[in-house]
Chains A and B, each alone.
Chain A
Amino acid sequence: MFEELSNIRKAVPSLKSFRNLPSLARREFRWGMLFLSPWILGFLAFTFLPILATFFFSFLNLRITDGIFSRPDFVGFANYAQLFKDPQVWSTSTTPGSLWITIRFGLLALPIGIFVPLGIALLMNSPHLKGQNTFRTLFYMPYIVPFVAAIFLWGGMLNSESGWINRTLMYFGVPKENVPLWANDIHWVYPTYIIMGIWGIGNAMLIMLAGLQGVPTELYDAAKVDGASAWQTFWKVTFPMISPVIFYNVVLSVVGLFQYFLVPLVVNSGTGNPGGTTYFYNLYLYKTFFVFQNMAYGATLAWFLFVIILLVTIALFGTAKYWVYYAGESR
């Protein structure tokens, strides 16, 4: 027994050569899969099969009424035919479609969701800032405030009469009848949502700050010796070095923004008010399934959204080679 062990010890100086022993390789496989099994089962049950089921449901006319499923029939592409001429999805001459609403809001929110945390992270990373750790903690703090509570806080701040923002505007001379109505104003409702979302930047800010702190100082020294301005240094040194972190945040934000709907659901009660401007695609999906109880059409909307997000994500990964720089890789 002891001899056997010491033999193995001699024969296997590192873990790498464990794989050369078939019985040990099998043992590794068995144990590895055993440890992975919770996730593999969960992935199959809560991710993989539901994706397939969503696809399958989109070809049925399944409804669910008060927990009772209707008898489903195969309807071919009828749901997709409905989807492609649904005025709730596509804009008409009079009303904006939910897809366009989602994209329009996303185009507004995405740059803010990237550049505001980046700007604050740059401030946090400044050698001139005193008390960096305290600031970092305090800028992150609102991130942990529960979503509904944050909406109430900002809802109060943005109240058209008693909110501090309009009080400040009036203090600086904006006439009372000209102050924005924020969440109830067609032109101000998106800025309202963006302001309410600004408390969520903590995560992105910390990730970007860690990226900034990881940039080797030699690069800054070299740029200084070459006489680069602060602007040049940012775009030629800092930005490429943290581009993987920015890319990660862009992809996560895009996926999140395509599914945006909880804020309009709580702030404007999911009605699409004011003037149908907040009837986001995912809100429509949510209502189709949970309110109108049309399961098959909900699945069709979900599958369509999935395909759009997939295509956009692939396109983003396609652009990555032009602007994302991986220092460790030789490309």
Chain B
Amino acid sequence: MSNKILTQTLREEKSITIRNRALAHKLRKGFNVTFITALTLALLGIFLAPFLFMVFTSLKTQGQISQLGAPIWPAKPTTFDYNGKAIEVYRVPMAKCVGADPSDTSVKELGIVKKGRQQSTFVDPANLVAGEITCSVSWRALDRPWKWSPNWQNYADAWKAIDYPRLMWNTTFYAIMTEIGVLISCTLVAFGFARFRFPGRDFLFIVLITTIFLPGAVTIIPTYAFFQRIGWVGTWLPLIVPAFFANAYDVFLLRQYFMTLPRELDEAAMIDGASPLRVLWSVIIPQSYPALMAVTVFHIVYAWNDYFGPLIYLSTARDKWPISIALTTFNGIYGQRPQLIQAGALMALILPLILFAVAQRFFVQGIVVTGVEK
């Protein structure tokens, strides 16, 4: 009997310890989760703060930019209507006002009627019937309350100043034309590397991968001289034509993807008499949409960001400038108007950002394929 009770007690004690341990474990895990997630969130906040800076700055008025002590968010000083006139509002310590209790620590937002160095006259917007109040404060030393007020006009100004539609068209044209070249040439070359066996293929593949590490500086001078010689500098051609000759990154990405596709389907098609081109078109491509999408989105971003190519080949052809080039001149012209620069920067990055929001899974997959498998 007593034995039974003892066992029972022991069992209960044991279950309590287990429960306590589980609780401690849960708590520790909960703490870790909270700590790690909060840390990551803080880092992300710092990392992405420039976006907020850009949005806020792009919505400020020139007046706010040049005013000391203005808030970091787009705002204008509060005013209020008094006798048909908009008067400015200040934060006034009430102890300094006539007829106030000197121990009064409250601060009220009052409209200023008469500005003075020694004393100023105010009215209380909340209590107009009390009439004008005289306080012995210098109006310059007072803080002003600000209220949220975005100035959308900056976007219209930036739009006009850089001929935004023209730049968007130029950038899009460049992106689309090179995109066509990249998709066609890289698919063909990747198919060649993935599906045919012949002597020298592996050597050529190593050469292809090596070009990823090749410094561009060593090829640019003769290439530029060549394009100069045949009269292509100042046209789109030096930027678009090379895209039709494949590049290592995209060939590698597509080749890795094609290698994962089972060969049985192409072999069956071959035996049915399909030509390799037919196999590529009807068997490989329909199975490869994720990889082709990855190449597409990467290339759009690449073309959108490309600065060096347009800089050297289009610097004399102002009507063909993409947004990246136009934006740098903007900096020189509007150095004193940061709100326009930030509005311009936002208009330059909004399209890639939308593309990323829509297609982010293709970006992530594409990088994982090209990066890890080397």
Contacts and interface: CB of A to CB of B under 8 A. Distances in A.
B126 interface: no
A86 interface: no
A107 interface: no
Interface residues of A, number: 98
A112 interface: no
Nearest to A164: B53
Contacts of B217: 259, 282, 285, 302, 305-306
Contacts of A262: 307-308
B51 A303 contact: no
B72 A131 contact: no
A32 B191 CA distance: 8
A103 interface: no
Interface string B347-374: 0110011011000100110011001101
B221 interface: yes
B222 interface: yes
B213 A255 contact: yes
Contacts of A248: 371, 374
Nearest to A38: B185
B154 to A, nearest CB: 13
B1 interface: no
B309 to A, nearest CB: 11
Interface stretch (A43-51, A180-188, A220-228, A271-279): A43-51
Interface in B180-220: 185, 188-189, 191-193, 196-199, 201, 204, 207-208, 211-220
Contact of B36 (A35, A123, A150, A313): A123
Contacts of A29: 196, 198-199
Nearest to A210: B368
Interface of B: 29, 32-33, 35-37, 39-40, 43-44, 47-51, 53-54, 57, 65, 72, 185, 188-189, 191-193, 196-199, 201, 204, 207-208, 211-226, 228-229, 233, 242, 244-246, 251, 263, 267, 271, 276, 301, 304-305, 307-308, 312, 323-324, 327-328, 331, 338, 341-342, 344-346, 348-349, 352-353, 355-356, 360, 363-364, 367-368, 371-372, 374
Enumerate the 7 nearest inter-chain pairs by beta-carbon distance, A residue then B residue, closest first. A42-B245, A35-B192, A207-B371, A32-B196, A53-B222, A50-B219, A29-B198
Interface of A: 5, 8-9, 15, 18-19, 25, 28-29, 31-36, 38-43, 45-47, 49-51, 53-54, 57, 64, 67, 69, 120, 123-124, 126, 128-131, 135-142, 144-150, 152-157, 159, 162-164, 167, 198-199, 203, 206-207, 210-211, 214, 244-245, 248, 251-252, 255, 258-259, 262, 266, 282, 285, 289-290, 295, 298-299, 302-303, 305-306, 309, 313
